[in-house]
Chain A
Amino acid sequence: GQQVMQIPQYQHVQEGEDFTTYCNSSTTLSNIQWYKQRPGGHPVFLIQLVKSGEVKKQKRLTFQFGEAKKNSSLHITATQTTDVGTYFCAGLGNQGAQKLVFGQGTRLTINP
Chain B
Amino acid sequence: EPEVTQTPSHQVTQMGQEVILRCVPISNHLYFYWYRQILGQKVEFLVSFYNNEISEKSEIFDDQFSVERPDGSNFTLKIRSTKLEDSAMYFCASRWEASTDTQYFGPGTRLTVL
Contacts and interface: CB of A to CB of B under 8 A. Distances in A.
Interface of A: 30-31, 33, 35, 41-45, 48, 50, 88, 90, 92, 95-105
A86 to B, nearest CB: 9
B43 A33 contact: no
Contacts of A42: 89, 91, 105-108
Contacts of B106: 42
B14 interface: no
A78 to B, nearest CB: 27
A44 B102 CA distance: 10
Interface string B64-104: 00000000000000000000000001010000000110111
Nearest to A93: B99
Given A43-B43, A45-B102, A103-B42, 9 more contacts: A33-B102, A41-B107, A43-B105, A97-B56, A98-B55, A99-B33, A99-B58, A100-B103, A101-B45
Contact of A31 (B41, B100, B107): B100
A98 B108 contact: no
Contacts, number: 59
Interface of B: 31, 33, 35, 41-45, 48, 50, 55-56, 58, 89, 91, 99-100, 102-108
Contacts of B103: 33, 45, 100
Q: Main SS of the interface on chain A? A: loop
Contact of A102 (B33, B43, B50, B107): B43
A50 B100 contact: yes
A98 B56 contact: yes
A102 B44 contact: yes
Specify which of B33, B50, B91, B102 lies most central, judged by the most chain A CB atoms within 10 Å of its CB: B102
Contacts of B45: 99-102
B48 A44 contact: no
